[in-house]
Amino acid sequence: MKNDVVPVPEPTSTLSLLALGTLGAGATLKRKLKASKMTEKIG
């Protein structure tokens, strides 16, 4: 029997990565919404 050890990242680092990703996605969405609203006003 071979013991394969799979490295598991710490839950805190995984959570922080998820949080950063969510924040980044939210910021990008907000920016896109603002940009589309501005172009509507101009056009």
- Over residues 1-43, the pLDDT tens digits come to 667 877 776 889 888 999 999 999 999 999 888 888 777 776 5
Q: What confidence score (pLDDT) does residue 1 get?
A: 60
The whole-number pLDDT of residue 23 equals 94
HSE value, Cβ hemisphere, 13 Å, CA-based, for 21 = 6
pLDDT attached to residue 19 = 93
If you search the block for the tokens 């490295």, which residue do you land on?
A: 7
Q: Report pTM.
A: 0.54
